[in-house]
Chains A and B, each alone.
Chain A
Amino acid sequence: MEKIIKVDIENFSYGGETILQDIHFSVEKGEFIVITGLSGCGKTSLLRLLNGLIPNLYEGNINGEINILGKPVSDYKKGEIAKYVGNVFQNPNDQFFAKEVENEVALIGENMGMDRPLLHKRVQNALQEIGIADLKNKKVREISGGQKQKVAIASTLVFDSEIIFFDEPSANLDYKAINDLEKILKYLKEQGKTIIIAEHRLSYLSQLLNRLILLKDGKIQAIFSSEELTADVKRENDLRSFNNQNLKSTMEDPDNYQMISIEDVYVSNKGYSLKEPVNFTLNLGECMALIGENGIGKTTLAKELTGLIPMRKGKTSYGQSTSSRLSNVAISLQNCSNMFFCETVEKELIPKDKNKDQQYLAEVKKYLIEMELWDKRMLNPHDLSGGEKQRLALLIAFLKDSKFIILDEPTAGLDYRRMVLVADAIKKKIRSTPVMLITHDIELMFQTCNTVYLLSKNGNKKINVRGNEFKILDFFKQNKY
């Protein structure tokens, strides 16, 4: 088979620190390669070297060579590589330049000087191939995260790029959108595209991949074929699950002591409302997952319960006014960067009135160490990585003196080890304060939640997680029970 990519990196360093070392592999035409490893292992740097963003946009010293289609990446003219290599990034919200879907898909053709009539034909074909022809005239910011990723993939088809790189494309997607992504990847593979994906979530890729490259501390730790992906490999290497269908809940039932009650609260905001009201109680030792399709109103409900927006109807046991709910609920927001207002991580966690409170300071220290943030405590919170920001937001919520904690997608894009850190912290916290967890992360849910609230258009229902694993997976697929 034809070698389409050849990587020979002796060493890549930035600011005196070695990021990658002894990376040698080649990729055959039509191969499906997944690069995985813990956060900070060098996945993104490797991808940036492959797509030319290093040294084009990011600095660094490379000792070695990368060949794409038989030519060193450095020999391509500026921007030329875009003809042969498509890219899909992690964040579906900020990677778009144009306002409308069709213009975004057309952008690469415009940059490459493609004639307008041909460009129109190619855009139309690309949208049809990915199954989003109906989104053609939609505004990019009005479509869902999953649809945005499809738009990004469609744009790689305009120039019929042979190679497509994906950087954690599922990090911000829900279960159904990940299923759709899996189908599209399967289609691209069948079309003979060469695909390289850097990713933590492996369950949707395990049936597609030809080889899994495991990076550790900037080096290739191992390369596995899809047949070699066993439970032992997962366990030994701290990897995410290869198959979500086999997952079982490990959580015990909560105590009988009721701490929170929510009665007849309607999910309602800006003209949208869900037909059935929300009713549930939370006991001591309980972590309840809140699940439902994207756009059903999970975040809206969380905001109503927190007091960020008023409730149209219903009551909560911890306060009726928005101000009383705001003071009694702690929340970690999905866009957690919006919760940081201080110069350092430490100052975010230690308010001025707690500066001399030794017990509080000891608790903060314990949390920082547990969450692997101790060494980062003097950094500006905005300079942390995505996963570190999520853990900091979690700590802000945990350290607030509250009756109820809401966590909105605290592990999106986290590797297995960091996900377990979060899961363990939640399990400890529910001994004193009940938690509601909005998540699409099935592994996290089965490790931390004793109950789950199913939010859907045809009604809502609360069930235990243990014993209902298949029912929950089915709900994720169908969005109804």
Chain B
Amino acid sequence: MFVDNVKRKIQIKPISIGVLMVIYTSIVFFSTMLVYWLMLLFSFVLLIAVKKKKSISLFIFYIILFGLISLVSSKCTISGWIGSIYTMGLIILKLFPLWTLAVILSSFGTSAIIYSLRSLQLPISLCIGVAIFFRFIPEYRAYLSEINEGLKTRNMGLSIIRPIHSLEIYLVPMIYKAFETGEILSCALITKGIEYDCKKTSYEDLSFTWKDYGIILVGLVFLGITIWKKL
């Protein structure tokens, strides 16, 4: 009797994006340039559907990086440290369709991700770990800026002469913060019955629609073309 009131918020499901990520990962280094461009385009189309603002900033970042890499390859000799940075840039560009999908995945709610992973029969500890990772990505940016403030108040800072110490002063508080957050979150999850043995449900409607089947089909087409071209 309540079905009509249930809001269908999620248009694309985490599982379909997850399947697409697996397909992209398996072909991204072997695909032709045409398939690469198609993969990139398709990822951006999906991102626009989920996070319009984010897609603009990510697109601008891609254009700038692409421009820089093109400039370096035409104007500089690719060797030494320039070569290292150039290679890193190339890898980032190559994996960009995957980054874009990861951004889409991070936009899903934590419980939606957990439910999706659970429905794939993955162990509960793995499901929680992955979900917490996505939940806390934005938090870590805030932690870093808080640590920066702490350093300033102590008149401390990064030093090129002591790179390990510099890394340590950021890393150690981050690790402790991660432990602390993990402990509090574990308490909250356990007392909310995460371990209770029953058929779990989801607040969001996560059943597959034609859009999800369509996404997976497009991914399979990319996979098919790549295999066909390699044969």
Q: Tell me if A280 counts as interface (CB < 8 A to partner B).
A: no
Q: Are A112 and B198 in contact (CB under 8 A)?
A: yes
Contact with A along B126-162 (1 / 0, CB 8 A): 0000011001001100010011011111111000000
Bound state CA distance, A57 and B2, in angstroms? 37
Cβ of A337 within 8 Å of any chain B Cβ, yes or no, is yes
A321 interface hit (Cβ, 8 Å): no
Q: Please tell me the size bucket of the interface on B.
A: 35 or more
A96 to B154, CA, bound (A): 31
A117-B3, A326-B152, A326-B155 given; A56·B200 CB < 8 A = no
Q: Which residues of A sit under 8 angstroms from B112, Cβ to Cβ? A: 103
Min CB distance, A82 to chain B, in Å?
A: 3
Given contacts A112-B193, A112-B196, contact A87 B188 (CB under 8 A): yes
The residue of chain B having its C-beta at the shortest distance from the C-beta of A341 within the complex is B169
Known: A82-B191, A112-B196, A117-B1. A141 touches B138 (CB 8 A): yes
Known contacts A80-B196, A107-B111: does B149 contact A119 (CB below 8 Å)? no
Bound-state Cα–Cα, A111 to B203, Å: 10
* A83 to B: closest C-beta gap in Å: 7
Interface string of B201-219 (1 = CB under 8 A from A): 1111100000000000000
Task: Give the interface residue-count category, chain A.
Answer: 35 or more
Choose, from A7-15, A282-290, A327-335, A409-417, the stretch at the interface: A327-335
Q: Which residues of the partner chain B approach A91 to less than 8 Å between Cβ atoms?
A: 184
Rounded to whole angstroms, the CA-CA distance of A247 and B225 in the bound complex is 78
**Residue B189 at the chain A interface, CB threshold 8 Å:** yes
B109 at the interface (CB under 8 A from A): yes
Q: Mark A114-133, 1 if CB is under 8 A from B, else 0.
A: 11111111010000000000
Question: Smallest CB–CB gap between B130 and chain A, Å?
Answer: 13
State the CA gap A57–B180 with chains docked (Å).
Answer: 14
Given contacts A99-B110, A103-B109, contact A141 B139 (CB under 8 A): yes
Measured CB to CB, the nearest residue on chain B to A306 is B153
- B24 within 8 A of partner (CB): no
Q: Is the CB of A78 within 8 A of B197?
A: yes
Q: Are A95 and B172 in contact (CB under 8 A)?
A: no
Query: Which are the 6 A-B pairs with shortest beta-carbon distances?
Result: A79-B196, A117-B2, A82-B193, A338-B150, A106-B203, A79-B195
Pick 16 A–B contacts, CB within 8 A, sort by A.
Answer: A53-B187, A56-B190, A77-B197, A80-B196, A81-B193, A91-B184, A97-B188, A103-B112, A110-B111, A113-B198, A116-B201, A120-B2, A120-B5, A120-B6, A338-B146, A341-B169
- With A79-B196, A113-B201 given, name 13 new contacts (CB 8 A): A82-B192, A85-B191, A89-B187, A97-B110, A100-B109, A108-B192, A110-B111, A112-B196, A117-B5, A120-B2, A303-B149, A341-B156, A382-B173
